[in-house]
Amino acid sequence: MSQDNQNQPGQAVEPQDENQLIALRREKLGEMRAAGNAFPNEFKREQYAADLQKQYVDQDKPWFDDNEVRVSVAGRIMLKRVMGKASFITISDTSGRLQIYAQIKLLGDELYESFKTWDSGDIVGVEGLLFKTQKGELTVKADKLQLLTKSLRPLPEKFHGLSDQEQRYRQRYLDLIMSEETRDTFKMRSKIVSYIRRFFEGRDFMEVETPMLQVIPGGATARPFETHHNALDIDMYLRIAPELYLKRLVVGGFDKVFEINRNFRNEGLSTRHNPEFTMIEFYQAYATFHDLMDITEELFRGLALEVLGSTEVPYQGEVFDFAKTFERISVTDSILKHNPDITADDISSLEAATALAEKLGIHVEGYWGLGKIQMEIFDVTVEKKLLNPTFITEYPAEVSPLARRNDDNDFITDRFELFIGGREIGNGFSELNDAEDQAERFQKQVAEKDAGDAEAMHYDADYIRALEYGMPPTAGEGIGIDRLVMLLTDSPSIRDVILFPHMRPE
RNA sequence: GGGGUGUUAGCUCAGUCGGUAGAGCAGUUGACUUUUAAUCAAUUGGUCGAGAGUUCGAAUCUCUCACACCCCA
């Protein structure tokens, strides 16, 4: 709280969207202030709504006549039905909903009259005995009732809720109040992250934290956010990936490490892109990209079973099968498989591939090699068709500056990307641990940067130095958590799985 | 960056051919002691996203801008 804020309680700054409804609630709050402490905090909540619903689901109405169950619950008033000398309200706490019965007989005239002025959205504490209504709904017969927090703003319509998407993203708190579906999505997200963490911990991986503020933004090809460190007087970047730091740790002898954290990329916003997004990256020494594909299948299958209870993953009208072995197919084979009119010759020489790319409407830059052009053709003609989980392998070295070259074919690397629902979900490879090759690849990246590729990598001399000490054969992978959560929660937009997605300021 | 759609009461939405701005919910007042989106009666509430233009007259037609959503690059 700002110290120079001279405003006294109750004389708050006039909000711009003040209206009749808010004004009246402010008046009610004013009366509460005059009557004593308007924001009491000594109420002790003892039970959660959902626990009680679960615990007493099998007890019938007469049971409660013989068994006194006294509870103390608290939550937000979502529904209110006043019938003269008795009322029902439905409150919502973090676990679920519970009905409260308020009678003038039990509460007394004064409290009951006051209660009738309370509004939906207000937060209340309730004590009383449990019973079941004629329709069998578990209800608390309130003998103590206290308004804990006055809500000054009216809630959205009780039946339709908040449907304006912009408002749901900008005022997520309101979306969470109104939508069980939204609450479930983020509970699911928490479960997913928790499962992933346990999965790797259970395999002796160590969780680490590496710099988010980096002097050289490395580990991926993307535009970084720039910032400045005043004391050191140097420009710094928000990280686009943790990769190079995690591999330094493998050099240091931490054979199995993982990090779940945010990356930042200074790019456009879309249903699949948010400027900050969450990735898990994990690295395992003495493993290959084949091992990673096995681990990934195991992880995804386990996750689906854990959070959905099934290996069939419904998504936007499709169903993806996580039970079957994930298809493994090379970049070039996948192009041929999904495009009967494209021949192997069309994509095996720079000239032919360039011609094909241009026919597909791709703007080919002069510095692109065959590998880059193949990937562009793949992006346009294959990616969207990869619905069931598919590992695409044999990525060109040209577009894989950190991956180990294939022993039999140095045009390609021991790398894969995982696609589900037509979207890239993961990217992994056997790591390039040849310091001299890595130095050359960095130099090539620098040349591409000079040639106009703003996303090309910087030369990271300390990373080369680390590799020169020797990194054991290692494989590493990154998985986009947000896109994974989208899949498992059947969410069409990345904004639906990020609590506070980035929007243009109001 | 390009295209499409949208923006009307606190919320969910109507608004015909350009002719005085509508409903439901919420709110307010009254009735009602087992309701279930309670019900019944009455009633308050509007810079129609912003600006300009056409017109006797614009929520409605035209243009510009803002924001959002969707599609494409």
pLDDT in tens, A51-95: 999 999 999 999 999 999 999 999 999 999 999 999 999 999 999
DSSP string covering A63-118: HHHH---EEEEEEEEEEEEEETTEEEEEEE-SS-EEEEEEEHHHH-HHHHHHHTT-
**Closest residue, by C-alpha, to the C1' of B26:** A157
A53 touches strand B (CB under 7 A): no
pTM (predicted TM-score): 0.93
Does strand B come within 7 Å of the CB of A179? no
pLDDT band at A455 (very low <50, low <70, confident <90, very high): confident
Structure tokens at A390: 């598919």
> Whole-angstrom Cα distance, residue A187 to residue A317?
22
Would strands A213-214 and A226-229 be described as parallel, antiparallel, or unpaired? unpaired
pLDDT tens digits, A232-286: 999 999 999 999 999 999 999 999 999 999 999 998 899 999 999 999 999 999 9
Query: How many CB atoms within 10 Å of residue A55?
Result: 13
- As ranges, strand B nucleotides with an atom below 7 A of a protein CB are 9-13, 24-28, 31-39, 44-45, 66-73
- The predicted complex's ipTM stands at 0.93
- Predicted confidence at residue A452, as pLDDT, reads 83
Per-residue flag: A379 CB under 7 A of strand B: no
* Three-state DSSP string of A224-276: CCEEEECCCCEEEEECCCCHHHHHHHHHCCCCEEEEEEEEECCCCCCCCCCCE
Q: Is the CB of A160 under 7 A from strand B?
A: yes
3-state secondary structure of A39: coil
Instruction: Measure the CA–CA gap between A488 and A206, rounded to whole angstroms.
Output: 26
Q: Calculate the average pLDDT of chain A.
A: 94
The amino acid present at A287, given as its one-letter code, is: A
Nearest nucleotide (C1') to the CA of residue A99?
Answer: B36
Radius of gyration of chain A (CA): 29
**DSSP code of residue A288:** -
CA of A504 to C1' of B53 (A): 30
Q: Decide if pLDDT at A15 tops 60.
A: no
> Does strand B come within 7 Å of the CB of A361?
yes
Contact A424, A417 (CB under 8 A): yes
Phi-psi region of A152 (alpha: psi -120 to 50; beta: other; left: phi over 0): alpha
- CB of A175 within 7 Å of some strand B atom: no
Instruction: Please tell me the distance from the alpha carbon of residue A50 to that of residue A344, in angstroms, as a whole number.
Output: 60
Whether A171 and A482 have beta carbons less than 8 Å apart is answered as no
Q: What are phi and psi of A227, to 5 degrees?
A: -145, -175
In this complex, the answer to whether residue A425 has its CB under 7 A from any atom of chain B, a nucleic strand, is: no
Rounded CA gap, A91 and A115, in Å? 14
Predicted local confidence at residue A464, as pLDDT:
98
How far is A70 from A187, CA to CA, in rounded Å?
29
CA separation, residue A271 to residues A143, A186, A491 (Å): 50, 17, 10
Specify the residue for token string 């009610």. Answer: A28
- Contact between A378 and A335 (Cβ < 8 Å): yes
What nucleotide is nearest A494 when CA is compared to C1'?
A: B69
Which residues, 6+ apart, have CB-to-CB distance to A493 below 8 Å? A271, A486
